[in-house]
Structure 1
Amino acid sequence: VIAALLQAGDRILSLGLDQGGHLSHGARVAFTGKFFNIENYCLDRETFLLDYDAIRQQAISFRPKLIVCGASAYSRVIDFSKFRKIADEVGAYLLADISHIAGLVIAGVHPSPIDQAHFTTTSTYKPGGPRGGLILMGRDHDSRITVAGKTLTLSAHIQKTTFPGMQGTPYLNNVAAKAVFFRETLSDEYRAWQVRIVENAKNLADNLLDLGHDVLTGGTDTHMILVNVTTLQKDMTGVAAQQGLEDCGIIVNKNGLPFDKKGAAVASGIRLGTPIVTRNGMGAEQMSVIADLVDATLRAVHVGNDGRYRIDESTRNDIRAKVRNLCQKYPIR
């Protein structure tokens, strides 16, 4: 999409990586950051929510050719219609990257950007399918664009840029796997899974809040929960929390938080998600158990002056046993 629409040096407005955006949206180490003029919008400093009025003012000042919405670490609903109004006002294209919430969008659990954004992109593995991606268009598919003196539809231009412009030999086994996955997404079972994912995430967030943890935005609307671990105890970091939890059999990832003063390799937060535990059959009761296990682990983790974590061996073994017992009751499906 970007290669089809933009020339080197054109302007892109996107959510900053340090605000919950994605590397591909304009980070300096990514393709977009190397060849385009990137400006990032930020979350509100107090609420950690998207501030659409501030984004609008920034877009009016910056005048981007492309606005990117979507995130890899944002737990609340994204209002795609507001982004489209901003894009239309400044004459920009709107790209919605929904990779992290695609399953929720498919099931109608999160609003869809398909008829709001000019382009919607997603990976296929994050919502439960094989490795790969999709470029989707809604009401703008037959809009006209002039390229090198020729006028064609926007969708035809994207198609030509994709192949032969970017794409090589297809992996037909991967195409077949995508087809199987698309069929699965039409089932009642898939849609029910997505509903339960959000229910479980909300329950897990509420349980963590009740246990005294600093859950960003006070909860979640999606599958994702962000927790500021630095408020739990002195010298705690995201990386120490991640390593301590992993040592006890609980897999999360360290995550930078909006306006984080710690570097990305250390971070102040962790990110938790509920898709797999939900797929394995866990529900509200198990979310309470998981919250207790996370809480017990984080309170047992001690971070030294060298930044390394330590945890009492008997405590670690006890938590590991409880994690193993829970997982044996709900094996991977």
Structure 2
Amino acid sequence: MPSTLHAPAPAVPARPAGSDFAPLARRVRGSGLLDRRRGYYVRAVALNLAATAALWCAVAWAGDGWWTVLLGVPLAVVAARTAFLGHDAGHRQIARTARGNRVLGLVLGNLLLGMGHGWWSDKHNRHHANPNHVGKDPDVGEGVLAWTAEQADRQRGVLRWVARHQALLFFPLLTLEGVNLKVGSVLFLRGRPRRVQLVEGGLLLVHAVGYAALAFALLPAAQAIALMAVQHAVFGVHLGAVFAPNHKGMAMPGPGERWDHLRRQVLTSRNVRGGPLTDWFMGGLNYQIEHHLFPGVPRCNLRRLRPLVREHCAAVGVPYAETGLVASYREALRHMREVGEPLR
């Protein structure tokens, strides 16, 4: 086995860089799908805030029994909707100006979620620029999990054991992702300009104090801690279940390989088929190919964009990967199992 395991890149005809994307881009611009959907986002933000407030009212109404802790589950689901809206603001899908989207991102991310908008934007933009490219995409960088056999071979101690069994441990580990996102947001502020630290750090602090104060004001200490633990665990699993199918197990450019924009985004991404329920559960990110090609397209327009992209990929001979939700998890976990196989 080679020292670095890459998902095999589909065989596609070589084309001059940039020659295949431009016609699709012109067609999409002419379709109006890039236009802002202000009404959609006003409704989405308003409903999300109302649902969040209603759930905390339910916590107050339910009282201090241990059954109240189960409300951490819907709180996590609503928090994931907040994260999806923050994601859209980060891609400037909502407001007309960069400043307006940044303000929305700070409110939705830092203030309401305790997840840094600046940290997420920096990490996510690097991912979009070079998806699934080791050394460039932070989502396949070295960490607790290994995405290539080379990374797995470098793991030591407990991390080596994790890499060996990572396919089985993936979803259990996601229960820690909610906390990890908050820790990463705070660590990102080190060395940042003073103004960024004050604004983003201040909002993160307001969130932490307000969140803890609300939980402990409504519930005894033990139940409050349990409620927060359940919410963070389910939130992490929910986000991980949304992001895992998007790229894991898809093609990974090898060292020195350079693909044009169309192939760099399409060959590394996987769509998940489904109807309105899948769209809701995955926040529209089940249309990952379309989102990567046109990150500024409002989420609610991605379903309408899909036929244009499929047709264009077929015309230029670029494979378009799409599968069901369960099959997408199977493919992602298969890749993780193959990466850890040499360690067993």
TM (normalized to structure 1)?
A: 0.28
TM (normalized to structure 2)?
A: 0.28
Relative contact order higher in (CA < 8 Å, ≥ 6 apart) = 2
More helix by share: 2
